[in-house]
Amino acid sequence: MATPAVAEKAARMVPGADSEQPRKRALITGITGQDGAYLAELLLGKGYEVHGIKRRSSQLNTQRIDRFYEEPQFRRRLVLHYGDLSDSTALVRIVQLVQPDEIYNLGAQSHVAVSFESPEYTADVDGIGALRLLDAIRICGLEKKTRFYQASTSELYGKVREVPQKITTPFYPRSPYAVAKLYAYWITVNYREAYGIFACNGVLFNHESPLRGETFVTRKITRGLAHIKVGLQQTLYLGNLDAKRDWGHARDYVEMQWLMLQQEEPRDYVIATGNQYSVKQFVELACELLEMGVRWEGEGVETKGVDTETGKVIVAVDPRYFRPTEVETLLGDPTDAEERLGWRSKTSFKDLVREMVEEDLVLARRDAHSVKGGFHSYSAPAR
Ligand code: NDP
Ligand code: GDR
């Protein structure tokens, strides 16, 4: 009979691969979020054993990853642990237990507007959380083994001082979220330099998908307009329609997160498409794909998007969605990632919006069907 060590080694072999090549183990914080779901799928597809940290909640919060349990070849290799980025004892316990080859720190209070309402919590989870994980690597003596990816953000550039933004562009964070992420960025650099940990920052510009949280502007738009299309909602209320972002697809961006940890040397990279659109332009394209026409009337807070066919107001501004300090414009320069890693954002803006609109239309039709059947009533999200 095999000894436990031999049995464990056998269980970690990648089938069909060189028999000396053991399965890699990854630990993902934020596995239940948008990026966590896409990254888990990518790594499971590559043969990894994937461990994820999820938070205890009063309702199910694993919807984005539940489908992996349906796939027999993935099911065995996906393990979830309860934990929280504010709880260092849990993090040390999990890192000690898993002994990961790679850690992807994607967990965060990731909503910029919410960070103005919960600044201390955001600092704790998004800033000190990264430190707790890096220290867990040290406490467990894994500095030479475990590679670390930090989910950094274009929000670091905030009030932009160079266009387009690259890794050398000076930071000017404009929210408690961005300030917390600034700490996480530099503590990642510091642990790389001080302790030789293979630690990298991916400075990712906005990336979206049908799995995007419903309160971020892109998903709020595709979901809201789909609901208007099927008659479940009258008007979509938004904040700053003139904000400009460099929007890519989350599926493309998680590939880059993985690639960064496969290099010989750790480095920080900007990940972006190099193209920029306004919130208004996002609305216009989503309308076009839903075969609805929109005409803008008024200015500033009085701006309204009118349905060209019905004359009804389908988009209006609600100042409650304005932020105390706004990031007006972001545009990334992905040249470094393209040249050094051969990575390129694959999905065009139009294809991204189309995918989101199509999926939200399916969900809206399903909701309309059940509302019509008297199975549930509809209410628009609060934020
Ligand atoms: P999501 O908001 O979709 O996911 C965030 C994840 O973090 C969820 O799994 C959430 O759990 C988890 N989480 C929240 N608080 C804690 C906590 N206290 N302890 C442990 N886990 C926690 O974000 P995205 O997937 O879009 O983003 C992933 C990361 O990348 C985040 O760090 C974000 O700040 C960063 N980022 C995102 C960009 C984007 O455009 N998407 C761009 C640049 C950076 P639960 O499901 O229970 O809420
Ligand atoms: P952002 O994304 O703040 O860039 O952070 P979000 O989609 O929330 O806002 C983008 C821009 O749209 C404007 N906006 C609105 N935003 C929201 N949420 N709701 C509205 O109704 C609305 N109307 C206009 C915002 O003011 C802003 O200018 C995202 C998050 O994923 C972060 O975690 C990540 O770090 C950055 O992207 C890069």
Tell me: do 32 and 166 sit in the same domain.
Answer: yes
The ipTM estimated for the assembled molecules is 0.99
Domain end point (choices 204, 233, 260) = 204
Verify that 195 and 225 share a domain, yes or no: no
Q: What is the reported pTM? A: 0.95
Which atom of ligand 2 lies at the shortest distance from residue 330's CA?
Answer: 4
pLDDT per residue as tens digits for the range 171-193: 999 999 999 999 999 999 999 99
**Domain-ending residue, one of 182, 204, 226:** 204
Q: Which residue lies with its CA nearest to atom 23 of ligand 2?
A: 239
Taking the centre of ligand 2 as the mean of its atom positions, its distance from the CA of residue 128, in whole angstroms, is 23
Q: Which of 204, 229, 249 is the last residue of a domain?
A: 204
Domain contains 15: no
Q: What is the torsion angle, in degrees rounded to the nearest 10, for the CA atoms of residue 160, residue 162, residue 165 and residue 168?
A: -110
Q: Is 58 within a domain?
A: yes
Ligand 2 binding pocket (C-beta < 6 A) is 110, 112-113, 153-155, 205-206, 215-217, 220, 238-240, 243, 245, 279, 321, 323, 326-327
Q: How many domains does the chain have?
A: 2
Let me know if residue 154 belongs to a domain.
yes
Quick one: 236 and 164 in the same domain? no
Around Cβ 248, how many Cβ atoms within 10 Å?
28
Asked if 221 and 200 sit in the same domain, the reply is: no
Write the pLDDT tens digit of every residue in 5-17.
555 555 566 555 5
Residue of 84, 106, 246 to test ligand 1 pocket, by largest number of atoms within 8 Å of CB: 106
Tell me which long-range contacts 31-34 makes (C-beta under 8 A, separation of at least 24).
31/65, 31/80, 31/106, 32/61, 32/62, 32/64, 32/65, 33/64, 33/106, 33/107, 33/110, 33/213, 34/64, 34/209, 34/211, 34/212, 34/213, 34/250
Where residue 129 sits, what CATH number does that domain have? 3.40.50.720
Among 222, 261, 256, smallest CA distance to 238 is for: 222
Q: What is the DSSP string of 271-286?
A: E--S--EEHHHHHHHH
Residue 113 included in any domain: yes
**One domain for residues 50 and 178:** yes
From the CA of 243, the nearest ligand is 2
194 plus 57 within the same structural domain: yes
Query: What's the CATH number where 310 sits?
Result: 3.90.25.10
Residues 46-66 have a mean pLDDT of 96
Q: Which of 31, 35, 124, 257 to mutate to test the pocket of ligand 1 (most atoms within 8 A of CB)?
A: 35
Substitution site in 106, 177, 182, 216 for ligand 2 pocket (most atoms within 8 Å of beta carbon): 216
Q: What does the pLDDT read at residue 19? A: 53
Domain assignment present for 383: no
| 343 is a domain residue | no
Judge if 116 and 49 occupy the same domain: yes
Q: What's the mean pLDDT in 156-163?
A: 96
Whether residue 246 lies inside any domain: the answer is: no
Q: Residue 369's domain spans which residues?
A: 217-241+277-326+348-373
Query: How remote is the CA of residue 339 from the centroid of ligand 1, in Å?
Result: 28
Considering the domain architecture, whether residues 186 and 221 belong to the same structural domain is answered as: no
Residue 336 lies in a domain: no
**Residues classed as catalytic:** 153, 155, 177
